[in-house]
Structure 1
């Protein structure tokens, strides 16, 4: 066989792929040969467009021009010598290399041996047909334009970046100014010319404008912009005429080479002389800021006020102030308020501003505690004012409402607070306040629960009588108001060390709140106080039972009494939830009856110790927190999948492979079609006081409801943590407190459809939960190391450790979540990596392959 001397008709079908392949080879040769020339051209254009030649002397410009010319000449010669025009045969060879068996070369061959043999000729034709079929599938070959070997320092990229910067920040008109530096144009360069800039106020965020680049004769300029002009050439050839600055009196000459003024009004800007220009200037006025109250002030049970407000400005608000004044006309002037009030200045507090983000329009909340102020729980007026960077201010309409303060539900404490209010209202009320307090405390044995409170009352009365003989002074008024406030707080909160008494006080405060028509928020806080008091009481009973066992005392057997009943902490939780639900529904009579039943149960309660191989309190708490962490992880996964569906509505509802999360089953907690599901990983309550489940941890409903249920479950678990009073136990409680606050923030973000913010808060909650579990483990280890405690349990835990010294998995799981690496930096780094993976997986502009990989990582970890 021998190659054909000319083109074969069988190759006519390859004309288009062959032409495109050859064109690509030409482009490849051009880039490889002339990239140095293009690099020099781009660098020279960047320097000229940025005007760098105007900053140096003429000699330096000429020297640089010579170097550029030599560079252009050298790179052009090098490119011409390097360039090679690709031939048709080379294009065919490159195209043939991409096909199996090199069919193009086979089609170009001719049969030499056996041409006269019919059988051999038939085989040859079959071979040619097969090669022609392969060649018909030929596709153009992409050119190889990688220049990394030829340009190891990436000079071409540097030149491209410089040119891009010049295009954005420079001006193409500056290129022509280099001609003024030539010898023939020396006379022209000395002629009159000008340049100028418009610099808007910095707070507007607008860029500086070069006057020579403006097309047209109209200018829209922000109020307060500064205009700077420079005249070159013969003095007097160019003059300025303007009516935008509003300047009067002694003005600088119109022919000064440097002119600078501020735009304050509409008018005309004109440069008279050779090359002069005229503009009609319109000033864009800076609007004053606006502010308004967005809703009535709200108060917590402890008196903290929250006042929402909105503010806006065209360029951004820089600060604000809230002024609160007494609305004297709306005060019910009875009893101690009939006297003329002492003169007091209005309350002035700064308004909170957003830490980050745009301040052009925002909504914030003013949070302050005015419980101890004389105007607390009295009608006041709110006046808000804000300022912008230009010094302008805006003021809201006067808003009338009550100044929220702490509410006292104990009758005696409320009476003391009322007399304190009267004393602060007017110093003339001092004698009346003394008489009223004596009447209230006429029979101390009937109303005082604490001798300390009664003795403090007597001291206050004697001091008030002594100070009011010659007229109460302002400093004494403040002193007595502080003493009365401390007495009221003592009467309300109590100074009780006994857990049962604290429980009774919490129940009584809740009863008073129901009678006085407290708000839902106050009821929720008082219910939380009742839960904490109940947990303290149960812990005290548990410690008492343990001490009796250790001292050999006979403990009654709970199973011997046929009239006794067994209750777990989850049963108490359900009763409290039921009471709170009845109160929120307004069914106060039923709630009062349920509260009395709860009080009887708590006072008759006796804690029994577990028998046999039951779990300790610390183990139950650890398992409960682990379950809470798993549920929080699953909830975070559901929120993340909902966030993904906002960017990718066609997703398969989060049901693809690996959708369970690393904690097992939590990924299936709630479908994305809105049907509430129950997380598969939720532990079931075994009825013996385990803290892994319970009604408070119902995972049905929306993400926000599930987050709220999880927060309530964490509150319940916090009340049964061991290690109280130890550094490790306090550290665990602090960490769980941070986790609870992060859960509250996550719930609020979920209710506002801020999934990204909710995921961040959930990550903080999970990290705090892990820290709390580590601190709780340390507290349990400290208890086991104490002499005479935990011997049998410690031996059992030692047998359950793996060869690396870690505890084995609980609840029948294999392995442990405990990490080999310990330390703050390790966990901080792990959290940072997880947050970065979440951020990247939400970026829909990334390649699909990378997004799939990131989602697999999230499903795994």
Structure 2
């Protein structure tokens, strides 16, 4: 047992000696490589490779790799590993007894005495083994490493690693993998990258700068990268999957790559290493939502009316009303029609509006249906509202011809089935053969189309004898011919516009055609405003709408006169509206001009609202038959609502005359304001602002009837105003004719100003008219009530404010400050308009108290204006004044100028998007 323990100790000492010899052999073979690697690691940890140029760093790393390979190769050649025999010999050499070698001997004499002697010798050897120690080899190490670099260098590496802290792995990694592309000039390569969001988002392009991380972009954006390099780089996209693609050469010698960003993606450009990289975060595009705020109901003129609401993160592109039959035809159970719903603006992110849709022409008009809203965003995603049951309104046709046309029309349109295939007849292809199948196309038509053809055949049987309107008879025969010649359902549906036009003409007369043109022009203009069409296209459609409106007015006037209207009603501006383009007077022209200004300045929401108001006003136009005295329409100023031959009470007549005078002053003040704005822009004041008849005989204007009062008074009304007053009446009554004539003869009244007046002189003359108006109503020059003032009817403070604004405007014009003058003129115009509205309300209350008719105050003329003589001040329609419209034009011109002068590409892109939107 003791011998076994001793041998274990001997083996341990031999192993330790072998390890020391092996370490020394490694040191002798790889000592240069060890020093070289330690120096490299120290340089890397202190950041030396990060501080030098990329090309120098790449060369240094290459030198390290090449040098390390050479030293490693030399070390492998020089390395001689020691054996255990060498270790035993080195250990055994320490004792003269050579215990390790002696223990391996065996006694030659087997006698007992020899054995005792060997045992004694063995014990002595075992005791000598305890004195053996592994050699230190210090002399060899000192000769190999006299400066103890084997300890200093590792300690230095550890110290530098501690100082570098968390940056140590990165520094070493960058030192081991430098930018080798810098050796061929890749470090000078510039990568330009930008993100183009989807068009429906309305967002500007995003330019990616180097080093940006976590850039959030809309889902579906397109990234474009462009660079110049000796060869094509590669674009690497790392999302859920890795994808790479090569750049494509462009005609100008550069390289370009494009990709879609549909998820969170890391973008990198590789060419001899990573040249650029960005982390892009894709924002999801949620589908839109749509809802009924108010469920559909039947509104005016058989229109479907409802209030909708819709939202989307980037804007709703289209909104449609989906219509399906509650009890569908078995042949088409999934049939659904979609009707476009106008949106208040271009792709609103959140909107709500009340709309009226004319669906009386729809094929399912009069049937129970289910309706729902479908909102679509720019990405094509749809959001659907709840389904609401409804009965589509249908137009009521009373004329027999119109009813027949409508019945035949819906019979064809409601048929969902297609024509059957024509049977082939090979004999018909022979010469002189008759293709009877092709000649009888109606036999392959669906049942309802055949039924409609039979209905038309029955209606037109000897129709030339019994139909008073030969045009209706020919229309029916034409529709029957279309059905017999049709070879498909689409061809059969061509009878729709033909029969619909016949039904409208038979039921409503010739003005229906003009109304259709007006509605078509309105839809075209509204579509252009909603879609952001070009300025030229909007201008063209605006002119079409203006022509359609004037044609519709002319048609309604002609129809009214044919029905017994004695003479065209005169408007309050003094222009005879004989069915011509000026029907409605200056107020209607102002509405059209304001609409045109709004379209030109990009105020699409206001333009669409005004367009809707004008269209509704025209559609509600109704003329009434007069009494034969040329008074025009009942309810106009100067008429008694109860008895047209009975004069108005003195107080009402006085208010009526005051309102007429105030309306004339208001109109000329507006014209002066427009001319001031024109002069401020450097334009010549419009000569069109001069009233017709300038230079004519006093008291008589061009376009007025003999005896008609300038300013728009009716002949009959003037007789009541001037002759109906008695000597004892209140002063001011009856002044509407005599005083006005005196004013015109003096050349100072509205409508007869000298043509060579300056703007300041015109403003001074208007101020004198206001002072004269105040004196005629029993007020002092400064607005102090006199003895005969109409208490509570004419606001003296308002007149004083008007005169003060006019004086300020006159002073500004004399000093050449048109901008300040325009502001004061706008203030005077607004005060005059408010005073006119106040007098109109007072007159309405008087009439209601006298007649007991609450509708007296709501009487309107054919254009929807107040028919109480006060003139229309634009309260019913929101029309921005001329100053606001001009400022909008100036802003638009400034945007265009800055766009043309801008040098920065981002600024130009921003201005371009502004111009596209406005």
Q: TM-score, normalised by structure 2?
A: 0.32
Between Structure 1 and Structure 2, whose CA radius of gyration is higher? 2
